[in-house]
Amino acid sequence: MGIKVLTIAEQKDGKLSPVSLELLTAAAKSGGEIMTAVLADTADGLASELASRGGGTVLSVSHPNLKYFNDEVYAKILTELIKKYQPNLVLGAATFYGKALLSRLAAINDGAMASDITALETAGDTVSITRPSYGGNVIVNVAGKAGKTMFATVRPKIFEESAAGTGEVVVEQFDTTLFESRTEIKEMVGSTGQTVSLNEADIIVGIGRGIRGPENLDLARKLADALNAGLAASRAIVDAGWIEYSHQVGQTGKTVNPKLYFAIGISGAIQHLVGMQTSKTIVAINRDKDAPIFSIASYGIVGDLFEIVPALTEKFKAHA
Ligand SMILES: Cc1cc2nc3c(=O)[nH]c(=O)nc-3n(C[C@H](O)[C@H](O)[C@H](O)COP(=O)(O)OP(=O)(O)OC[C@H]3O[C@@H](n4cnc5c(N)ncnc54)[C@H](O)[C@@H]3O)c2cc1C
């Protein structure tokens, strides 16, 4: 007997996040029956899109209080759907929102929780997942326990977006009391200075203490703009107050997995590497030929970033 997999789509400003479509590919790998939950103030359009991309039975829930992510309300609604549809596996995105939501759901529903997974397999109704542990130094395989629902967050950019597939939309309705919350979200304001989300970026420009001061950050921003890339930072320059924490990559920042990561003026401390070492291609620019970053770089440029970065920016602009 195959398993039932429920994926939880993520939306922002009424648009599906790309990772929602990656979750469908992850779910398809399980070989099980796919269901997708989408919660928004007006969810039906998003639900139709998910259905045409292989979302299976797409459970569409609309209410004004679902406009912004609120883990208290989202968890109440999703728990009702879990009780009704009894999935063996619930998949969400390993994003700021997904991590908060899935761990809450696992606790409420007495399930098993696995964060940040990179692969999954099923045999009968047993689910096995793979996830990095100890800062990516160990890869762990975990099998779910019979009779327990497994909840997992999937690392963005590991699976391809599902391009096409079949599905049907089922509109779900709940008592209005379920949408009540102890908090009211009035507005979501994006952090300043970041136009491309690090979780979704195919290219990331990462900058470290080699930049010498906040007055020089525009150098990295220009390169990021030329490549339509996200701007990341080491903790050293976040702690120095040169850039906001939302840019930090590493053990105490974000984990990213882009196609291309530029590490510029970053030494390559292990705490930084654990946040970006799974990037498909890494280009390191550092004036110290012995900098540890070169040990994981696909391409290394030894030299002064103040000469190399503007030259690269001009080249990329010329080919844009
Ligand atoms: C518990 C804990 C958690 C941590 N979490 C994180 C984390 O999440 N993320 C993180 O990044 N760090 C984290 N750190 C800090 C980490 O250990 C390093 O201190 C930090 O990553 C160093 O940042 P950096 O590479 O920018 O600076 P540095 O190590 O000072 O490196 C600067 C680099 O710039 C190069 N450079 C200087 N001038 C130039 C130039 N003109 N041209 C080219 N290259 C140049 C230098 O050769 C050097 O390699 C954590 C530490 C601890 C203890």
pLDDT tens per residue, range 202-243: 999 999 999 999 999 999 999 999 999 999 999 999 999 999
Residue 116 in 3-state DSSP? strand
List, in order, residues 6 or more apart from 72 with CB less than 8 Å away: 181, 182, 183
**Do 142 and 128 meet the contact criterion of CB atoms below 8 Å apart?**
yes
Mean pLDDT of 129-158: 87
**Ligand 1: residue whose CA is nearest its atom 50:** 271
Tokens of 60: 């569409």
Q: Return the sign of the alpha-carbon dihedral for residues 187, 190, 192, 195.
A: negative
Ligand 1, pocket-test mutation among 254, 287, 290, most atoms within 8 A of CB = 287
For position 286, what pLDDT does the model report? 98
For position 39, what pLDDT does the model report? 98
Q: Which residue reads 């609120």 in tokens?
A: 70
Residue 74 in 3-state DSSP? helix
The conformational region for residue 124 under phi > 0 = left, psi -120 to 50 = alpha, else beta, is left
Ligand 1, pocket-test mutation among 238, 252, 264, 306, most atoms within 8 A of CB = 252
Q: What is the pTM of this model?
A: 0.82
**Which atom belonging to ligand 1 lies closest to the Cα atom of 253?**
8
Instruction: Report how far residue 87's alpha carbon sits from residue 102's, in angstroms, rounded to the nearest whole number.
Output: 14
- Top pLDDT among 195 and 164 is at 164
List, in order, residues 6 or more apart from 283 with CB less than 8 Å away: 260, 261, 262, 263, 297, 298, 299, 300, 301
Residue 298 in 3-state DSSP? coil
Residue 22 in 3-state DSSP? helix
